[in-house]
Structure 1
Amino acid sequence: MNLTVNEIFYSIQGESVYAGLPCVFVRLTGCNLRCRYCDTRYAYDEGSAMAVGPIMDRVASFDCNLVEITGGEPLLQDRTPELAAALLAKGYEVLVETNGSLDIDRVDRRCSRIMDVKCPSSGEASKNDADNLERLTANDQVKFVIGDHEDFRFAVQTLDRLPAVLPHDRILFSRIAERLPPDRLAGWMLDANIRARMQIQLHKVIWPERDRGV
């Protein structure tokens, strides 16, 4: 059985604690959510079947040790854990970006799971798997995508439910670019004395006219 792959590309990591580093991205097809602000709708259905071996060969061609498996929602595909394990076995540092609606322990805990907690403006906050908060390790990351002050309050309230083992600099507050100016989110964080990392999607600053392959 193959994986359905939307694209494999080499770019600058635009988000997470790895922002700014070169990274190979394996974007898998399919998502079980429909967030209002989604910027990868093309990954809902577009893709081609690939076995783990050819994916590994393509990743190796970029000569980069940092690899992110993303989507869509990569945990929807049954062979995603196999791909993550194969990359780990080859010595890659592996990130898995997930929307937080599915059990993150499907993939090896040696991966850094970058897990969304969906805020109200996404339209999908009811789909958060609350048990995932207890599955987080010190190697993982949690991301809140914030579009308004209601989202911000929701994120702040959720901070108390995060495990103490998760470092503060691995808690990410990200804005919806079309809805929330960066200085406003920064101001809210400073006023509330939030111990978390504000991030701006670096790849959209570098390549503002490109939607794919970045």
Structure 2
Amino acid sequence: MKLLLLGATGRVGNEIARLAAKDGHQVNVLARTPEKLPSGMNAFQVYRGDATVKEDIEQAIEGCDAVVSTLSSDGGTVLTEAVPLVIKAMQDRCIKRLLTIGTAGILNSRTDPGLLRYQSSESKRKLTRAAREHHDAYLAIKESSLDWTIVCPTYLPDGPPTGRYRTEKDFLPLEGKQISTGDTAQFAYKQLSSEEFLHSRVGIAY
């Protein structure tokens, strides 16, 4: 499989890149600062560019079979700018599989049916700008014709994979408080070869 990986310089993106390299996948990486990429990526095809620039996405996606995005809300509008470009480039090339990392804030609320967690009393965060941007990205992906999965971790400390975690479609597992970057990456990477959570968000926590 040949992948386009966005967000490879981030914590979860780093781990997914390592897993893909270990399995011998071909990986195209689009990064604004390739110098921040971890060692071991010299075998990847690295493109210096920006996920919010149409031409950069189109160049990096050529020949790929799937797209993995670990782009985060950076205080700006990266997600809401990049996601429509990715969707359009995928549809134009008949690439179906899209895997992204979201946030637990865009999962369904248990306490307030009809709302998402960030909109409800479940959320303890006073600032919702990042969750709102993830929400907009989710809506764009949901309305597309792609085979998508959005992995939605809760509090995300650095840590290695343990392989012991809980997942739930469209909800955060009960009493879920945190999940490591390693386990998030491991679970997300496995979804590339799974149809269990197609066309859905999936919460992950210990």
TM-score clears 0.5 = no
TM-score (norm 2): 0.39
TM-score (norm 1): 0.38
